[in-house]
Amino acid sequence: GELYLAAGAHAEAVAVYRTAVAQYPLNGATYGGLATALLAIGDPTSAMDAASRAVALEPHQLSWDTILRRAKE
């Protein structure tokens, strides 16, 4: 997912992260990546949901809070 994001292939990143979330539903990083990709394609509502899940799973990871704030803007 990160490679797709870096390359600007945001829709592909969303697809990869959705697969990762399905396979690893307790991994906050997968939800954080999905949130970032969803923001990049202009879907802040879904990004907020994914970021909220990332925060719930990994509350110590401050970057998820940052993504959540960006999604709420």
Instruction: Express each pLDDT in 29-62 by its tens digit.
Output: 999 999 999 999 999 999 999 999 999 999 888 8
Q: How is residue 20 written in tokens?
A: 């990762």
Sequence-separated (6 or more) residues with CB below 8 Å from residue 35: 47, 48, 50, 51, 54, 64, 67, 68, 71
pTM for the structure as a whole:
0.90
Predicted confidence band at 64 (pLDDT cuts at 50, 70, 90)?
confident
Distance CA(2)–CA(31), nearest Å, equals 12
CB 61, CB 28: distance < 8 Å: yes
Q: Is 8's pLDDT higher than 90?
A: yes
